[in-house]
């Protein structure tokens, strides 16, 4: 989900700088990876980099697991491809069943696609079609309410849904105008004075309620949110009670509640689905990265009983489809990744190691003048940098602080990959790095991650002062 960074020579596109953040990155030579094994990637010069970000929060069981290789090879020998217009496959059905079961049956069906952006496109269209299938139909419902500084993908529909200012900027005239926006849930920057969590949540729910009324509740398909904001804000979790409160507003106005768990889902947050932590079941949910752990491109959409019942009584056909949806090889890889996560009790390990990591990262806030905030859940943590801790003023986005820190991390002696996310690069939301290691890390790895990141941050800011 990172902005495209074009290695020189591979694509001759290095003049296609798309933002201040990206243009800095275009100037660096890309380290070339020649292998990856376990929780390390191996560079051309032989150095091993600890993958503390799992790529873009993807590699949840680490790299090069031969059990997944074997599952892919076995499936390849059986069925390499089939069109889901004509056929179904055991492997796809089994994966969908597992996903449904992972929700304790509150979601009823799954739809398998190739990327998080595709999953979001499908979720939008599913919501729209739901209102056309309903008896009586509600054809006026074609609008969405999403949040500021969210990220839902890069295709035009999903980009329209997202509120990532710089990702949208150049394409603004091409984006859908059926999306309006409410505030994000970001206590570090947006809580007012001595506001309690409950008061903050109530304020945000009231704002959503007013937005429904402003644009006409009967025109709204759904409210859409990431339970833990990933790429745009650096791992900002919902405040307790927030998801529940937002869902209640949707229910009041007869609109659907869609949660985008592409980045935070499938165990990353310490529970299988992040919404479990607020007991707020979505009507539609998207999944991605840790579904296949990077072994194949795969993502999914889950639809609740409420949605599926309407389709069952209606046409029964979701008017949508991709050539490679439900791809058997991708499904086989995801099934094996999910088997490993389940049988090795890795979500519990995410929760346990997340507790340790949280405590160690919080030390950074106390100990470094440029670390303004640390937040996250499970093994999904964001460290936000500020110019001045008394005001929490962010660095100018043109400095590319998060990217520089991530680039320094790849060098000796740190040799650790963290994921840079630079907010909306509008000089308001600041720079953050995401730490999202594989689910199988040990307490010793947590210690390595924490001490290396501390060293990295100290050295980076010291070099800027020098
Ligand atoms: N939704 C969220 C919350 C994401 O974090 C991302 C990617 O980072 C996407 C959607 C888009 O997924 P993809 O990059 O697989 O298209």
Model pLDDT for residues 356-415, shown as the tens digit of each residue: 999 999 998 888 999 999 999 999 999 999 998 899 999 888 888 998 999 999 999 999
Atom of ligand 1 nearest to the CA of 299: 15
Domain that holds residue 28: 20-64+345-465
Judgement on whether residues 277 and 387 belong to the same structural domain of the protein: no
Paired strand residues for 420: 433
Residue 461 tokens, joined: 């800011």
Q: From the CB of 399, is ligand 1 less than 6 Å away?
A: no
**How many of the other CB atoms lie within 10 Å of CB of 174?**
10
Q: What is this model's ipTM? A: 0.99
pLDDT at 5 over 50: no
Judgement on whether residues 239 and 218 belong to the same structural domain of the protein: yes
Predicted pLDDT at 203: 98
Q: How far apart are CA 460 and CA 465, in angstroms?
A: 9
pLDDT at 11 over 90: no
Last-in-domain residue among 310, 343, 376? 343
CA distances from 73 to 34, 67, 88, 444 (A): 21, 10, 20, 34
State pLDDT tens for residues 141-183: 999 999 999 999 999 999 999 998 888 989 999 999 999 999 9
Judgement on whether residues 98 and 238 belong to the same structural domain of the protein: yes
Paired strand residues for 304: 107
Q: pLDDT above 90 covers what percent of the chain?
A: 83
Pocket of ligand 1, candidates 113, 231, 261: which has the most ligand atoms within 8 Å of its Cβ, to mutate? 231
Query: 313: exposed, middle or buried (C-beta count within 10 Å: 0-12, 13-18, 19+)?
Result: exposed
Judgement on whether residues 232 and 367 belong to the same structural domain of the protein: no
Q: How far apart are CA 439 and CA 205, in angstroms?
A: 33
Judgement on whether residues 233 and 88 belong to the same structural domain of the protein: yes
Q: How far apart are CA 152 and CA 168, in angstroms?
A: 11
What mean pLDDT is predicted for residues 303-329? 94
Pocket of ligand 1, candidates 112, 116, 275: which has the most ligand atoms within 8 Å of its Cβ, to mutate? 116
Longest Cα separation, the chain: 69
CA distances from 58 to 11, 83, 269, 418, 452 (A): 24, 27, 13, 12, 21
Report the side by side order of strands in the sheet with 256-261. 107-113, 299-304, 284-287, 256-261, 220-225, 143-147, 179-182
Last-in-domain residue among 343, 376, 406? 343
What mean pLDDT is predicted for residues 55-78? 97
State pLDDT tens for residues 112-140: 999 999 999 999 999 999 999 999 999 99
For residue 13, report the phi and psi dihedrals to the nearest 5 degrees.
Answer: -130, 20
DSSP per position, 22-42: HHHHTTSPPPPEEEEEBTEEE
Atom of ligand 1 nearest to the CA of 115: 15
Separation of CA 310 and ligand 1 centre (Å):
28
Q: From the CB of 120, is ligand 1 less than 6 Å away?
A: yes
What mean pLDDT is predicted for residues 418-440? 84
Could you tell me which residue, 111 or 16, shows the higher pLDDT? 111
Upstream peptide bond of 291 is cis (omega within 30 degrees of 0): no
Helices (H), 223-327: 242-252, 289-292, 305-313
Whether 251 is covered by a domain: the verdict is: yes
Whether 26 is covered by a domain: the verdict is: yes
Separation of CA 194 and ligand 1 centre (Å):
34
Q: How far apart are CA 107 and CA 308, in angstroms?
A: 9
Q: pLDDT above 70 covers what percent of the chain?
A: 92
Q: How far apart are CA 257 and CA 280, in angstroms?
A: 9
Q: How far apart are CA 416 and CA 408, in angstroms?
A: 9
Separation of CA 58 and ligand 1 centre (Å):
11
Q: From the CB of 331, is ligand 1 less than 6 Å away?
A: no
Predicted pLDDT at 344: 98
State pLDDT tens for residues 224-255: 999 999 988 999 999 999 999 999 999 999 99
| Residue 10: band (very low, low, confident or very high) from pLDDT cuts 50, 70, 90 | very low
Radius of gyration from C-alpha coordinates of the chain: 22
Q: From the CB of 262, is ligand 1 less than 6 Å away?
A: yes
Pocket of ligand 1, candidates 53, 152, 298, 436: which has the most ligand atoms within 8 Å of its Cβ, to mutate? 152
Q: How far apart are CA 177 and CA 244, in angstroms?
A: 27
pLDDT at 440 over 80: yes
What's the CATH number where 427 sits? 3.90.1150.10
Judgement on whether residues 311 and 362 belong to the same structural domain of the protein: no
Could you tell me which residue, 453 or 4, shows the higher pLDDT? 453
Separation of CA 390 and ligand 1 centre (Å):
33
Residue 179 tokens, joined: 């999306």
Q: From the CB of 268, is ligand 1 less than 6 Å away?
A: no
**pTM of the predicted model as reported, rounded to 2 decimal places:** 0.94
Judgement on whether residues 303 and 383 belong to the same structural domain of the protein: no
Whether 387 is covered by a domain: the verdict is: yes
Predicted pLDDT at 423: 62
Mean pLDDT of the chain: 92
Judgement on whether residues 81 and 49 belong to the same structural domain of the protein: no
Judgement on whether residues 368 and 441 belong to the same structural domain of the protein: yes
Q: From the CB of 294, is ligand 1 less than 6 Å away?
A: no
| Residue 422: band (very low, low, confident or very high) from pLDDT cuts 50, 70, 90 | confident
Decide: helix, strand or coil at residue 327: coil
Whether 420 is covered by a domain: the verdict is: yes
Judgement on whether residues 54 and 82 belong to the same structural domain of the protein: no
What's the CATH number where 220 sits? 3.40.640.10
Separation of CA 263 and ligand 1 centre (Å):
6
Residue 207 tokens, joined: 């704002």
| Residue 425: band (very low, low, confident or very high) from pLDDT cuts 50, 70, 90 | low
Q: Which residue has the tokens 């020649």?
A: 34
Whether 1 is covered by a domain: the verdict is: no
Q: How far apart are CA 344 and CA 438, in angstroms?
A: 13
Whether 13 is covered by a domain: the verdict is: no
Q: Give the residue whose CA is nearest to atom 13 of ligand 1.
A: 116
pLDDT at 28 over 90: no
State pLDDT tens for residues 267-313: 999 999 999 999 899 999 999 999 999 999 999 999 999 999 999 99
Judgement on whether residues 370 and 285 belong to the same structural domain of the protein: no
Last-in-domain residue among 324, 343, 362? 343
Predicted pLDDT at 399: 85
Number of domains composing the chain: 2
Upstream peptide bond of 413 is cis (omega within 30 degrees of 0): yes
Atom of ligand 1 nearest to the CA of 261: 3
Judgement on whether residues 212 and 252 belong to the same structural domain of the protein: yes
Paired strand residues for 63: 38
Q: Which residue has the tokens 């307490």?
A: 443
| Residue 21: band (very low, low, confident or very high) from pLDDT cuts 50, 70, 90 | very low
Q: From the CB of 291, is ligand 1 less than 6 Å away?
A: no
Whether 232 is covered by a domain: the verdict is: yes
Whether 189 is covered by a domain: the verdict is: yes
């Amino acid at each position: 989900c990172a902005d495209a960074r074009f290695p020189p020579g591979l694509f001759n596109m290095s003049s296609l700088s798309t933002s201040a953040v990206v243009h800095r990155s275009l100037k660096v030579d890309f380290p070339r990876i020649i292998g990856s094994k376990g929780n390390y990637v191996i560079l051309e010069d032989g150095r091993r980099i600890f993958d503390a970000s799992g790529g873009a929060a993807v590699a949840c069981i680490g790299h090069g697991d031969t059990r997944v290789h074997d599952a892919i090879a076995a499936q390849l020998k059986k069925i390499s491809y089939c069109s889901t217009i004509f056929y179904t496959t055991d492997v796809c059905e089994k994966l969908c069943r597992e996903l449904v079961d992972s929700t304790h049956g509150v979601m009823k069906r799954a739809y398998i696609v190739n990327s998080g952006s595709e999953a979001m496109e499908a979720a939008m269209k599913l919501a729209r079609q739901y209102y056309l299938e309903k008896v009586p139909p509600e054809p006026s419902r074609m609008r969405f309410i999403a949040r500021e500084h969210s990220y839902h993908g890069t295709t035009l529909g999903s980009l329209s849904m997202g509120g990532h200012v710089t990702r949208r900027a150049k394409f603004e005239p091409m984006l859908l105008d059926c999306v309006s926006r409410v505030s994000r849930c970001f206590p570090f920057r947006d809580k007012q004075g001595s506001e309690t969590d409950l008061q903050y949540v109530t304020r945000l729910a009231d704002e959503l309620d007013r937005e429904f009324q402003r644009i006409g509740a009967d025109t709204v398909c759904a409210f859409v949110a990431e339970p833990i904001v990933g790429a745009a804000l650096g791992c900002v979790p919902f405040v307790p009670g927030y998801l529940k409160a937002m869902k209640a507003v949707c229910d009041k106005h007869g609109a659907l509640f869609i949660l985008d768990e592409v980045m935070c889902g499938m165990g990353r947050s310490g529970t299988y689905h992040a919404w479990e932590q607020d007991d707020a079941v979505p009507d539609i949910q998207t999944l991605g990265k840790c579904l296949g752990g990077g072994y194949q491109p795969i993502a999914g959409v889950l639809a609740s009983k409420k949605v599926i019942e309407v389709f069952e009584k209606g046409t029964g056909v979701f008017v949508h489809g991709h050539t490679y949806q439900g791809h058997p090889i991708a499904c086989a890889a995801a099934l094996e990744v999910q088997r490993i996560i389940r049988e090795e009790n890795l979500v519990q390990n995410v929760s346990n190691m997340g507790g340790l990591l949280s405590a160690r990262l919080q030390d950074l806030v106390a100990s470094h003048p440029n670390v303004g905030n640390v937040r996250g859940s499970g093994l999904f943590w964001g460290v936000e940098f500020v110019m001045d801790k008394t005001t929490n003023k962010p660095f100018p986005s043109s400095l590319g602080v998060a990217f520089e820190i991530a680039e320094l991390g790849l060098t000796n002696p740190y040799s650790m990959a963290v994921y840079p996310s630079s907010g909306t690069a509008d000089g308001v939301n600041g720079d953050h790095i995401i730490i999202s290691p594989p689910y199988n890390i040990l307490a010793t790895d947590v210690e390595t991650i924490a001490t290396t990141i501390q060293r990295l941050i100290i050295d980076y800011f010291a070099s800027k002062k020098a």
